[in-house]
Structure 1
């Protein structure tokens, strides 16, 4: 059985170009919001899980630069654990962990849905994504029903 922490995540090339590289500064972004691509991915996954935005990936796909181990090795251990917990929550069963590839695929789909949600806001003129404090508000100041 594959180790869930070693399976690489996937995202669409246009998402990498339009959102990830815009917000993740270590790899060339503009706005100093996130240091790593995986942080932007986790943000999108959280938005996808929160809003129930799940979307299959379409080609072309970007390279697969990180996995849950990458997160753990860069001070993101709790984020990696949270993504796994959100995955379990959405399926309603621990059985998803018996098929690690399916769990990673599910996280990928929710992240992709989150990226499209973010893109839709940007396309509709939402400019608060250029401000770190407003992004923090988007992440932390929600009312959970």
Structure 2
């Protein structure tokens, strides 16, 4: 059985081009909200979990996926713990961790739901995501969907 920390996340090429590259400075984006792909991915995952929006990956997947280890090694230990906790909460049982591929797939689906929500917001004229305070508000002002 694979270790949950070594299984690669993935995302659609479209969201890489239209969200991740736009908001991740280190990878060439024009804004400075996130320094790494995984930070933008975690932002989308949190939005997906909070809004209870999950979507399976449908279009071509982007290259260079990362792992929970990548996050953990990039000072994201608390983010890793949070993603795992949200995954368990949405699955309704710790049993999701018995098959790490299922857990990573669930996180991928919620991140994809979050990315598509972000894309929809951008298409509807939202242009303030390059403001860190707006990003925080998007995450923390939401009511939990139960």
| TM-score calculated relative to the size of structure 2 | 0.95
* Residue 59 of structure 1: how far off its partner (Å): 2.6
Equivalenced residues, count: 145
* Residue 64 of structure 1: how far off its partner (Å): 3.6
Indicate whether 1:3 and 2:14 are aligned: no
Indicate whether 1:121 and 2:121 are aligned: yes
Q: Which runs of 5+ in 1 are unaligned?
A: none
Q: Would you say the 8 A contact 1:44–1:114 is kept in 2?
A: yes
Q: Would you say the 8 A contact 1:9–1:64 is kept in 2?
A: no
Indicate whether 1:27 and 2:19 are aligned: no
1:9-88 correspondence runs (5 A):
9-88=9-88
Determine the C-alpha separation between the residues in 2 that align with 1:59 and 1:113.
Answer: 13
Q: Which runs of 5+ in 2 are unaligned?
A: none
The 4+ residue runs of structure 1 with deviation greater than 3 A are: 141-145
Deviations 1:85-140 (A, max 9, x none): 00000011000000000100000000000000000001001112121221122123
* Residue 76 of structure 1: how far off its partner (Å): 0.1
Indicate whether 1:111 and 2:111 are aligned: yes
Determine the C-alpha separation between the residues in 1 that align with 2:131 and 2:38.
Answer: 19
Determine the C-alpha separation between the residues in 1 that align with 2:52 and 2:142.
Answer: 14
* Residue 143 of structure 1: how far off its partner (Å): 4.1
